[in-house]
Amino acid sequence: MTRPRRAGVGLLLVVATVSCRGPASDGTRREPAFTVIVLGAGGGPSEDDLSSYLLARRGESSFVGLDAGTLGTGIRRAAASFPGIDAGAVLRDHVKAFLISHAHLDHIAGLVIDSPEAGDKLVLGLPSVIDVLRSDVFNWRVWPNFGDAGDRPLGRYRYVLLEPSRERPIPGTGLAVEAFALSHGGVESTAFLIRSATDYVLYLGDTGPDDVEGTDLLLRLWTRVAPLVREGRLRAIFMEASYPSERPDDALFGHMTPAWLMVELGRLRDLVDDDRAMAALTVVATHIKPSFEPGASPRETILAELAAENTLGATILVPRQGDRIEL
């Protein structure tokens, strides 16, 4: 594989509560536009800390869920990150919709298990993702049908099929979303470009590098968002770094390492062609998989590798469950 060139060690932050008030691409200071609450930052096999983030416009409490691996446990552990809100009411009253990147269990377990307490919700996804939820999950065999389609639907989850590259409003949130297909080891996953007024956040579900997956889907995505980075309108990219960089390509199973993450972001940098604009970007590294083997934890190794590989000048955040991030 081609590794990114090294140009010094970039900034790496491990966050608890952080406000990213960095410079815009024109050098001016900017106020955060989004609030993110981390309900789950990891990947399997840690079943109580699976991919799940709540996103809202800054200063508001109407959230959209970015995947739903861990919900109830994450909300309880993040209670301090919801000032003025009863944690018991977050899921029922304040989460308006879920964006589901793909239907692997570590991204939907909370959506399933917590469905009796969730109340009426929109579930947005590409047709392939909604089809799996409707046919293989909420079907009265795996779980009661809380959806609004299929066998004897209860209608609590209302499915919304997203068309690739076509923006759609997310009711009740003041946000809009545009979906892009990703390749995840032969499974269709999704990237969501979420807009609030003129500002954006990009959230990628699980995906492997283009060179390993044999696609150009990430390159297409970078081509779409490069103008937003150049204009200082893309506040953050959420993207996985599941395994340490020593993991061989044939054992990635549709995932990323820090080295591959930087290769892909280097391609974005080449399209942006503006170092100051890239330096204004925040990258949130997600989906770090735990290990039960002795020795250094994958998180510690990945933290060190991200610090060493960061040639972008961008801020790299490695969140923990319960964090509140202002972007």
Q: What angle do CA 90, 93, 96 make, to 5 degrees?
A: 95
pLDDT category at 29 given cuts 50, 70, 90 is low
Q: What is the pLDDT of residue 9?
A: 33
Residues contacting 143, CB < 8 A, separation 6+ = 112, 115, 137
Say what the pLDDT of residue 13 is: 38
Note whether residue 5 is domain-resident: no
Give residue 196's pLDDT.
Answer: 98
Whole-number Å distance between alpha carbons of 177 and 320:
25
pLDDT above 60 (res 110): yes
DSSP code at position 323: -
pTM for this prediction: 0.93
Contacts of 246 (CB under 8 A, 6+ apart): none
Q: What is the pLDDT at residue 10?
A: 39
**Residue 128 domain-assigned?**
yes
What H or E segment, with its residue span, contains residue 147?
none
The pLDDT value given to residue 232: 97
Can you give the pLDDT at residue 118?
A: 97
pLDDT of residue 12: 42
Integer Cα distance of 317 and 14 in angstroms: 6
CA 74 to chain centroid, in Å, comes to 15
Which residue in 269, 285, 281 sits closest to 235, CA to CA?
Answer: 281
CA distance 100 to 191: 10
Beta bridge partners of 288: 42
**Residue 219 within a domain:** yes
What CATH number has the domain bearing residue 35?
3.60.15.10
Q: Could you tell me if residue 261 is inside a domain? A: yes
Mean pLDDT in the chain? 92
Structure tokens at 202: 């990009």
Alpha carbon 321 to chain centroid, angstroms: 13
Indicate whether 221 belongs to any domain. yes
Q: What is the pLDDT of residues 197-254, one digit of tens each?
A: 999 999 999 999 999 999 999 999 999 999 999 999 999 999 999 999 999 999 999 9
Q: Is the dihedral of CA 266, 272, 274, 279 positive or negative?
A: negative
Which residues are within 8 A (CB) of 57 and not within 5 positions of it... i.e. 6 or more apart?
33, 34, 35, 173, 174, 175, 196
Helix (H, G, I), strand (E, B) or coil at 81: helix
**pLDDT over 60 (residue 59):** yes
CB atoms within 10 A of CB 274: 16
Count how many domains the chain has: 1
Helices (H), the chain: 72-77, 87-89, 105-113, 115-118, 127-132, 210-213, 217-230, 258-272, 275-279, 298-309
Banded model confidence at residue 121, pLDDT cuts 50, 70, 90: very high
Containing structural domain, residue 261: 12-326
Whether residue 160 is contained in a domain is answered as: yes
Angle between helices 258-272 and 217-230 (to 10 degrees): 50
Greater model confidence, 268 or 296: 268
6 has a pLDDT exceeding 70: no
Calculated CA dihedral for residues 51, 57, 62, 66, nearest 10 degrees: -20
Q: Residue 66's pLDDT is what?
A: 99
What is the rounded distance in angstroms from the CA atom of residue 271 to the CA atom of residue 281? 14
Model confidence band, residue 295 (pLDDT cutoffs 50, 70, 90): confident
Candidate from 1-5, 61-65, 250-254, 309-313 with smallest mean pLDDT: 1-5
pLDDT (0 to 100) of residue 60: 97
pLDDT of 293:
81
